[in-house]
């Protein structure tokens, strides 16, 4: 098997599979390496769905990535006949109004206005009328983006990999990269079995394992965290089940603005819905993390978020599943050159909100690898903003 390439991508999840596709379609001789067989349930990119929107409350720098990602997914859909992005709409709701400029809702509205993204501001009556399954309080306010919705995540990754292979990209599944070794004209990747693969440029898109592979300063900077998703059954009330089936994705901020949760329409025809909230940023080790979610966690989710807010949702979870976020110190993306290995680009940990941007991140990285001009400026996500990276490793 060939072991010298223009480009090697370590990790073929959301970001790596998009990078492999974009690199292969640019004619680069490339290989993708993954320790599992993606799409799989061990990283950050499983559980059927991820919310996508273009009015990005996390920061204006993300909007071009989201806009471009939507365009790429629509193009992939046209080429394959597969549904990757369902535009169910996305509602960002703040209890008690919460439209201050520094609130998530306020920043979402500002992003929509700044980039002329189709949206509607809704008061509580309008929310309850349009979406009878949301028990909005009288002072609540929302921003509805009709072009938002959700991505079919496993299908997105499978489609990236299918098209990447069709374009000549090689996939090495079930292979773990254990070390990177700069050599003349490239980087040697050592696999767990002892084989070495050499590439002129290497992209590390290893998600929650990036710190373990790269060592310091990444091991300290990047914090893998355990997250839990819950699927709750719906009451067999036809009108509410229909509202859930036809409804939008949502991000719902509590009145105290310190907590929020999010959820999806029912994608199984009104039987269950998926909902979750962000877990505290407690560092875990992906290989030893507790992978089972207990009924107590589902009960806490229901009591703390669902009860009194989501109508027609039963308390006993149908199932729960764990997943991993990797948090950077400022919760923003970390994409850029390795401080000590100039042919290694680190491009993975997307701090819990990265799937919706992954198609454009893959394209932007491939443009850089191919020596093309950047269509989207990734400078705001550069690793050098962290003191630990700016200092010599």
Ligand X SMILES: Cc1cc2nc3c(=O)[nH]c(=O)nc-3n(C[C@H](O)[C@H](O)[C@H](O)COP(=O)(O)OP(=O)(O)OC[C@H]3O[C@@H](n4cnc5c(N)ncnc54)[C@H](O)[C@@H]3O)c2cc1C
When the beta carbons of 61 and 237 are compared against ligand X, the nearer one is 61
User: Contact 129/149 with Cβ under 8 angstroms?
Assistant: no
When the beta carbons of 124 and 389 are compared against ligand X, the nearer one is 389
Closest CB 52 distance from ligand X, rounded Å: 6
User: Contact 362/22 with Cβ under 8 angstroms?
Assistant: yes
When the beta carbons of 209 and 231 are compared against ligand X, the nearer one is 209
CB-CB neighbours of 371 under 10 Å: 7
Q: Which residues contact 301 (CB under 8 A, 6 or more apart)?
A: 228, 230, 261, 275, 276, 277, 317
Closest CB 359 distance from ligand X, rounded Å: 11
Closest CB 349 distance from ligand X, rounded Å: 6
Tell how far CA 11 is from the center of its chain. Answer: 14
User: By the criterion CB under 6 A, which residues form the site for ligand X?
Assistant: 10-16, 33-36, 38, 42-45, 50-51, 176-177, 205-207, 209, 213, 227, 229, 276, 323-325, 348-350, 352-356
What are the φ and ψ backbone dihedral angles of 280, each rounded to 5 degrees? -60, 150
Closest CB 23 distance from ligand X, rounded Å: 15
Closest CB 360 distance from ligand X, rounded Å: 12
Closest CB 195 distance from ligand X, rounded Å: 12
When the beta carbons of 271 and 289 are compared against ligand X, the nearer one is 289
Closest CB 66 distance from ligand X, rounded Å: 9
When the beta carbons of 94 and 191 are compared against ligand X, the nearer one is 191
Cα distance between residue 168 and residue 164, in whole Å = 6
Closest CB 276 distance from ligand X, rounded Å: 5
Tell how far CA 336 is from the center of its chain. Answer: 18
When the beta carbons of 109 and 276 are compared against ligand X, the nearer one is 276
When the beta carbons of 127 and 191 are compared against ligand X, the nearer one is 191
Cα distance between residue 308 and residue 216, in whole Å = 45
When the beta carbons of 267 and 350 are compared against ligand X, the nearer one is 350
List, in sequence order, every residue forming a beta bridge with 31; answer none if it has no partner: 8, 170
When the beta carbons of 92 and 206 are compared against ligand X, the nearer one is 206
When the beta carbons of 202 and 389 are compared against ligand X, the nearer one is 202
Closest CB 4 distance from ligand X, rounded Å: 18
Per-residue exposure over 225-245, b if at least 16 CB sit within 10 Å of its own CB, e if not: bbbbbbbbbbeeeeebbebbb
The residue with its CB nearest to ligand X is 13
- Tell me the DSSP string of 295-344: HHHHHHHIIIIITTTBTTB-SS-SEEEEEEEEE-TTSS--EEE-SS-TTE
User: Contact 155/85 with Cβ under 8 angstroms?
Assistant: no
3-state secondary structure of 375: coil
User: Contact 277/352 with Cβ under 8 angstroms?
Assistant: no
6 upstream amide cis, omega within 30 of 0: no
Closest CB 297 distance from ligand X, rounded Å: 12
Which residue is listed with tokens 């440029």? 201
Q: Which helix (H) or strand (E) holds 127?
A: helix 124-130
What six digits make up the tokens of 281? 């940023």
Q: What angle do CA 80, 85, 88 make, to 5 degrees?
A: 140
């Amino acid at each position: 098997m060939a072991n010298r390439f223009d480009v090697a991508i370590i990790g073929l999840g959301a970001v790596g599979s998009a990078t492999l596709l974009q690199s292969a379609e640019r004619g680069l001789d490339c290989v993708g390496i993954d320790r599992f067989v993606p799409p799989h349930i061990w990283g950050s990119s499983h559980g059927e769905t991820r919310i996508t929107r273009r009015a990005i409350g996390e920061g204006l720098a993300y909007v071009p990535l989201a806009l471009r990602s939507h365009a790429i997914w629509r193009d992939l859909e046209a080429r394959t006949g597969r549904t990757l992005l369902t535009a169910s709409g996305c509602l960002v709701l703040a209890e008690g109004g919460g439209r201050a400029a520094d609130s998530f809702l306020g920043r979402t509205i500002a992003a929509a206005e700044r980039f002329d993204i189709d949206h509607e501001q809704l008061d509580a009556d309008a929310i309850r009328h349009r979406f009878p399954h949301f028990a909005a309080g009288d002072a609540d306010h929302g921003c509805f983006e009709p072009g938002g919705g959700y991505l079919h995540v496993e299908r997105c990754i499978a489609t990236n990999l299918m098209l990447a292979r069709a374009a000549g990209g090689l996939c090495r599944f079930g292979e773990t990269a254990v070390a990177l070794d700069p050599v003349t004209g490239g980087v040697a990747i050592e696999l767990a079995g002892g084989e070495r693969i050499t590439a002129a440029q290497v992209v590390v898109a290893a998600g929650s394992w990036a710190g373990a592979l790269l060592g310091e300063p990444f091991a300290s900077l990047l914090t893998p965290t355990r997250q839990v998703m819950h699927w709750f059954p719906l009451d067999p009330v036809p009108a509410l089940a229909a509202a859930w089936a036809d409804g939008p994705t949502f991000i719902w901020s509590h009145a105290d603005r310190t907590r929020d949760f999010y959820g999806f329409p029912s994608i199984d025809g009104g039987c269950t819905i998926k909902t979750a909230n962000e877990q505290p940023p407690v560092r875990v080790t992906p290989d030893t993390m507790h992978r089972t979610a207990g009924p107590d966690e589902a009960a806490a989710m229901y009591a703390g978020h669902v009860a009194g807010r989501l109508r027609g949702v039963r308390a006993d979870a149908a199932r729960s599943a764990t997943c991993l976020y990797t948090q950077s110190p400022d919760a923003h993306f970390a994409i850029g050159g390795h401080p000590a290995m100039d042919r290694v680009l680190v491009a993975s940990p997307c701090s819990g909100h990265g799937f919706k941007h992954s198609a454009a991140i893959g394209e932007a990285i491939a443009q850089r690898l191919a020596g093309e001009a950047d269509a989207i400026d990734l400078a705001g996500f550069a690793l050098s903003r962290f003191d630990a990276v700016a200092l010599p490793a």
